[in-house]
Amino acid sequence: MALNPVHVLERMTLVAPLGLRFHDAATGERVGDGLNITVYPASNSAQRVRAYANRSGTYVLHHAPGLREFEHGAGDDNFWNNLPPPQTFVVEVVDEERRFQPFSFEAELPAPRGLFNWLSPAEPSSPASAQQSIPLYSAPARGIQSGMAVIRADLWNAQANAPAAWAIVEARMDGQLHARGLSDRRGSVALIFPYPKPTDSPLASPVASPPVNQNVPLLEQTWELTLGAGYAPTDDAAAAKPAPLPDLRAALDQLNAPPAKLWTDFGGAVELTSVTLRYGQELILKSQDSITVSPPAPQAVLFITPAGSPP
């Protein structure tokens, strides 16, 4: 039986002005669920629309204010080569499962074809593939998976006598970055990362016969880590009343300022630059004397001074 030919009366397209991909900074795994992504014009926060994840775990935005004509464009090469003038939008990212810290950033929309190009101030020369995914940093209350190390601290800005909100803390070993964390509004930060590769102790006697097995048991493994911090609030007033959400680019850009300083003993001005991580034990960092500040700071905090500031 001959089939009647199909006549296309009208062809409709729907083009997305923004596609976002995220990854867990602790594990490197893609995160495609559980995130609440809202986008609005920088000039009007009331015009919020939500981006939703598609089947591949990419968050796609539709119905953005002022971009209706763009979204019904042809979507062909000529269309993408002749985009309308960009408008500044704010993207807010909140994890409904509370695994990751919330944040915001600005984006010029419509974005060029493909995934949004994330240029991180912390790694400006990162490969193109890495620039197509936005990092998510662990929240302090996040559950810890087996085989993951944890470094915790409650950061306190003694100059502003307030929690050090939205500070960046890094842990490195032999110069290689192993973990990066973003503190919350209360100054709490958690660096969660896979344990470094186990190490073996040197032979007690290089001429021992037969050779002596000097492998260190896993539960006795330790690693020496170097700490670094980025914290550069504009002034004490801004530090005392941080924004509800950090601008992630601005937070990471703190790493490009002179380094902030962490202190083991604020009264003695002894800097905390390295720590020993032990397998199976959370490492909690704190200064030894929190009573030297007037008024006194809370107990069990780690003092931090902003970039370029004296202790």
Q: Do 179 and 223 touch, CB atoms closer than 8 A?
A: no
Distance CA 92, CA 64 (A): 14
HSE-up of residue 285 (Cα within 13 Å, Cβ side): 30
Determine the 3-state secondary structure of 155 from DSSP.
Answer: strand
Distance CA 131, CA 118 (A): 5
Show me where the domains of the chain are located. Answer: 18-136, 148-305
Q: Compute, in degrees rounded to 10, the torsion defined by CA atoms 58, 88, 49, 61.
A: -30
E runs forming strands in 142-260: 148-157, 162-163, 168-173, 176-182, 188-194, 222-230
The pLDDT score that the predictor gives to residue 218 is 82
Sheet with 134-136: strands ordered across: 30-31, 22-24, 134-136
The pLDDT score that the predictor gives to residue 290 is 59
The pLDDT score that the predictor gives to residue 234 is 86
Distance CA 223, CA 226 (A): 10
Domain 18-136 has CATH 3.40.30: no
Q: What angle do CA 247, 106, 180 make, to 5 degrees?
A: 40
Q: Do 210 and 270 touch, CB atoms closer than 8 A?
A: no
Q: Do 91 and 102 touch, CB atoms closer than 8 A?
A: no
As averages over each run of 10 residues, the pLDDT of the chain (311 residues) reads 53 81 96 97 96 95 92 88 94 97 97 90 70 94 93 93 96 96 97 89 46 69 96 87 94 95 82 95 88 70 85 57
Across the strands, what pairs with 49? 39
- What does the block give as tokens for 290? 């929190």
Q: Do 192 and 239 touch, CB atoms closer than 8 A?
A: no
- What does the block give as tokens for 8? 């296309």
Which residue in 136, 128, 94, 113 sits closest to 16, CA to CA? 113
